[in-house]
Amino acid sequence: MRHLTVKRVRIDDTFAEAFTMRATGVIITADSAHWARQAAVTMTGFATSVIGCGCEAGIDHELTPRETPDGRPGVRVLLFAVSTSELQKQLQTRVGQCVLTSPGSACYAGLDGDERLKLGNALRYFGDGWQVSKRFAGKHYWRVPVMDGEFVCEATTGLSKNGVGGGNLIIMGQTVLGTLAAAQAAVKAIGAVPGVIVPFPGGIARSGSKVGSKYKTLRASTNDTFCPILRGAVSSALDADVGSVLEIVIDGLTPEAVAAAMRAGIAAVLKLGPTRGALRISAGNYGGKLGPHHFHLKDLLS
């Protein structure tokens, strides 16, 4: 593949192909940042890929007490799914099982918009008739009695039909540890970009996939062209010096947010350099015919 070299790191002349997804967000608060984070981490567990989890979810960013509706530390969580109904189901289940149950938690809308998903409106029945509806300041809240006091939950949250899923960076290095260091640097940089999540463990996927499999029941299987140990056995995309590959998948509320995240990730990898980090950066696509959003790596070098 054609490439250009920046700071001795090879950048493939290719693009990440991303898709339009349904997106929503919630703000979770608690008595401490630890517990807000705990609820968010629990809620976004097993939400790495729509292929097997129903949705992709992650922590967008943490919020100071000044930034939250109730003046407590908080976390903004974003969720992405392929359909509105699936997103509603995932939101309801995850908030109900992971946030409602978390000590001292409260949950508020994390996204504006005319189109809404049920949040407290779906969970209020847990109150068994003791739930209380409160409307003020143009907001509608549900107060559900729980054993440590009350679970306050906004009635609805916003739905975006313009979310972007599948922005990605494929980071290739000589060693496992060097590649991991580069990927971690990229994830850290992406963490500062608002409106995006990196849903895989620690933001990093080591098992990038291709569509389909030799086994009929599998919708996705290992991305053999990027597996170092298959170099020579398959039509490999890897150079001789690449011994490890990691992928960062990025979902965002807008194409601009995904582009900003990819730009930040690339910059972090380049800053680390090839000696301590990665030798090469690429991106995954399906030939450009499936996803409406194309993020060309060469456009993201700034």
Q: Does 136 bind another protein (CB under 8 A)?
A: yes
Cα dist from 79 to 117, 174, 241, 257, 275, whole Å: 12, 34, 37, 15, 36
Q: Does 103 engage in binding with another protein (CB under 8 A)?
A: no
How far apart (Å, rounded) are the C-alpha atoms in residues 116 and 160? 9
Segment interacting with another protein, rule: CB under 8 A, options 4-12, 135-143, 187-195, 200-208: 135-143
Spatial contact of 16 and 294, defined as CB atoms under 8 Å apart: yes
Binding another protein (rule: CB under 8 A), the pick from 46, 125, 130, 286 is 130
**Distances in whole angstroms, Cα of residue 27 to Cα of each of 37, 156, 226:** 11, 12, 37
- Is residue 141 a contact partner of residue 154, using CB atoms and an 8 Å limit? yes
Q: Are 107 and 27 in contact (CB under 8 A)?
A: yes
- Residues sharing a CB contact under 8 Å with residue 212, sequence separation 6 or more, in sequence order: 218, 219, 220, 221
Which of 137/233 has CB closer to another protein? 137
Pick from 69, 103, 113, 273 the residue near another protein by CB under 8 A.
69
Q: Which is nearer to another protein, 106 or 159 (CB)?
A: 106
Q: Does 149 bind another protein (CB under 8 A)?
A: yes
Tokens of 137: 């300041």
Pick one of 67, 150, 224, 239: the residue that binds another protein (CB under 8 A).
150
The answer to the question of residue 70 lying near another protein (CB under 8 A) is yes
Question: How many whole angstroms separate alpha carbon 42 and alpha carbon 147?
Answer: 20
Binding segment toward another protein, per CB under 8 A, in 35-43, 69-77, 176-184, 188-196: 69-77
Q: Which residues contact 30 (CB under 8 A, 6 or more apart)?
A: 36, 38, 39, 72, 73, 74, 102, 103, 104, 105, 106
Q: Does 133 bind another protein (CB under 8 A)?
A: yes
Q: Is 67 in the site for another protein (CB under 8 A)?
A: no
Decide: is 194 part of the binding site for another protein (CB under 8 A).
no
Site for another protein in 151-170 (CB under 8 A): 152
Q: How far is the CB of 38 from another protein (least distance, A)?
A: 17
Q: Is 66 an interacting residue with respect to another protein (CB under 8 A)? A: no
The footprint of another protein (CB under 8 A) covers 29, 69-72, 106, 130, 132-137, 141, 143, 149-150, 152
